[in-house]
Amino acid sequence: MPGLVPVILCGGTGTRLWPLSRASYPKQYWALGGDGDDTLLQQTHQRLSGIQGLRPPLLICNEDHRFIVAEQMRQIGVEPAAILLEPMGRNTAPAVAVAALQATASGDDPLLLVLAADHLIRDAAGFRSAVEAGMATAEAGQLVTFGIVPTAPETGYGYIEAAQPLTNANPTAASTPVPIARFVEKPDRATAEQFLASGRFTWNSGMFLFKASAILAELERLAPEVVSACRAALEHDSEDLDFLRLEREAFAGCPNVAIDVAVMERTDRGAVLPLNAGWSDVGSWSALWETAEQDACGNVLRGRVISEASSNCYLRSEHRLVVGLGVENLVVVETDDVVLVAHRDRAQDVKTIVGLLEREGAPESKAHRRIYRPWGSYDGITEGERWQVKKIVVNPGASLSLQRHHHRAEHWIVVQGTAVVERDGQEQFVGENQSTYIPLGCKHRLSNPGKIPVEMIEVQSGPYLGEDDIVRFEDLYGRSETPETSKKAGGE
């Protein structure tokens, strides 16, 4: 059995699942579509367990999300072969090219199973069977894509036409890939109905299985500029802790193109394998409602929720109590700073609201109140003129950077755990119910030497409280030491 390397693509912002999914913490990093605590990213890898020849995964993500990806893999006991950092998004063709080049760098030629980190698949066993059924075809040099057996004449998906009628409507039935006749962009409803009646069409899932050498050969033939740019980006990459950071200038010169457009729609080596395993791209709140287990009234309830005389609703609370009383067909999602109330039929239009907020420069368009950092997180509790209050959580063994501020002083009150605080070269232990003061201009750092998270309340005061008022001197996580770029690097 050939070695199989999962290639998990972690890009995307999932704006249709706003306000939960935002650019700073997209939907793939949330626990969605299941009863457990595993995130969509974690589920993507977990469902592969048991496939023969499975190797450690390659993950490709935005550099801003690198510590989220690494931590979520650590939580499920997975040590990736590599986490490749894209300096900017360039779509799926460059991501696949980078993965194939990385996988063959040592002379190996494994099968690559390309998966999106934000898909939901209910029947994991059926999915594994489909992957194993496609391996021989992929090993023979064909480029296999998984086509989702349609359940309705959807107009929001692209379609794949097979060269012959498909018979696999049973998720447990073994199937073999069929040559691809063509890819079709999102059709109108009448055309979609014709597609379903023909028995030849499946939805384009964006999941693929092929040998690394086979996809590289077709990329070289059909999109050589993608391969050359990605090769240059890898040749000049840099190791950053447990990550491989692609060289920015070379990668920026790579065409922004999907693997479907660059290769799959043009190759004569494509094959489609029907998949009926409860797949969803979780593209909207209504789609999440449809795929989730519903109560007797058709409701999906998540978090601290009470439903009384309500039906066919998706009600979700992340913090405060949400009560649905006598309502129907609603989506209600509560987060730390936003409450969304929408009719289920209008759930797709959430992206319009995100666009409106972006044009206004509203922070809610991109980030939550809680901001995740490599050392833990901080949560903006409240603020006023010349002051603000944050809750800061520092993970065991983690440390903020050694830094100073030009415009603010800080009071730190530890409410859980024990911290080591460094101030102008002097260290002190600060335990629960103890506090310390960081005057303006003081070179300082906080570390957690213990076994439990340190939680503290930080009170900032001064004429300017922006996250870019940081001059770094040392940092465990390779973030910039210059004040001009410290805002992008993440503050603290």
Tokens of 69: 């990806």
pLDDT over threshold 80, residue 59: yes
pLDDT at 480: 58
User: What is the per-residue pLDDT across 299-321, written as a single tens digit (0 to 9) for each?
Assistant: 999 999 999 999 999 999 999 99
Q: Please compute the mean of the pLDDT values over residues 173-192 and round it to a whole number.
A: 86
Distance, CA of 330 to CA of 468 (rounded, Å): 40
Q: Please compute the mean of the pLDDT values over residues 221-242 and round it to a whole number.
A: 87
pLDDT at 372: 86
User: Considering the entire predicted model, what is its pTM?
Assistant: 0.87
3-state secondary structure of 360: helix
Instruction: Give the 3-state DSSP-derived string for 262-309, with helices as H, strands as E and coil as C.
Output: HHHCCCCCEEEEEECCCEECCCCHHHHHHHCCCCCCCCEEECCEEEEC
Tally: H helices and E strands in the chain: 12, 30
Strands (E), 395-477: 402-404, 409-416, 419-423, 426-430, 434-438, 444-447, 454-461, 471-474
Q: Which of 189-198, 215-224, 238-247 has the highest mean pLDDT?
A: 215-224
Number of neighbours of residue 265 by Cβ within 10 angstroms? 18
Phi, psi of 232 (to 5 degrees): -65, -40
Distance, CA of 395 to CA of 289 (rounded, Å): 34
- Which one is the CATH code of 370-489: 2.70.210.12, 3.40.50.880, 3.40.50.720, 2.60.120.10? 2.60.120.10
Domain spanning 4-280 has what CATH number? 3.90.550.10
3-state secondary structure of 485: coil
Q: Which of 59-68, 234-243, 409-418, 468-477 has the highest mean pLDDT?
A: 409-418
pLDDT at 371: 87
Q: Which residue is it, tokens 């500029």?
A: 225
Distance, CA of 46 to CA of 189 (rounded, Å): 35
pLDDT over threshold 80, residue 390: yes
pLDDT over threshold 70, residue 483: no
Distance, CA of 298 to CA of 290 (rounded, Å): 10
Helix (H) or strand (E) holding 261, with range, is none
Pairing of β 314-317 and β 330-334? parallel
Q: What percent of the chain has pLDDT over 70?
A: 94
pLDDT over threshold 80, residue 94: yes
pLDDT at 168: 52
User: What is the per-residue pLDDT across 396-451, written as a single tens digit (0 to 9) for each?
Assistant: 999 999 999 999 999 999 999 999 999 999 999 999 999 999 999 999 999 999 99
Average pLDDT along the chain: 91
pLDDT at 468: 86
pLDDT over threshold 80, residue 171: no
User: Could you tell me the residue ranges of all domains in the chain?
Assistant: 4-280, 285-349, 370-489
Please, are residues 264 and 161 in contact by the beta-carbon 8 Å criterion?
A: no
Please, are residues 420 and 392 in contact by the beta-carbon 8 Å criterion?
A: no
Distance, CA of 186 to CA of 165 (rounded, Å): 20
Q: Which residues contact 191 (CB under 8 A, 6 or more apart)?
A: none
Q: What's 153's DSSP letter?
A: -
Q: How many residues does the chain have?
A: 492
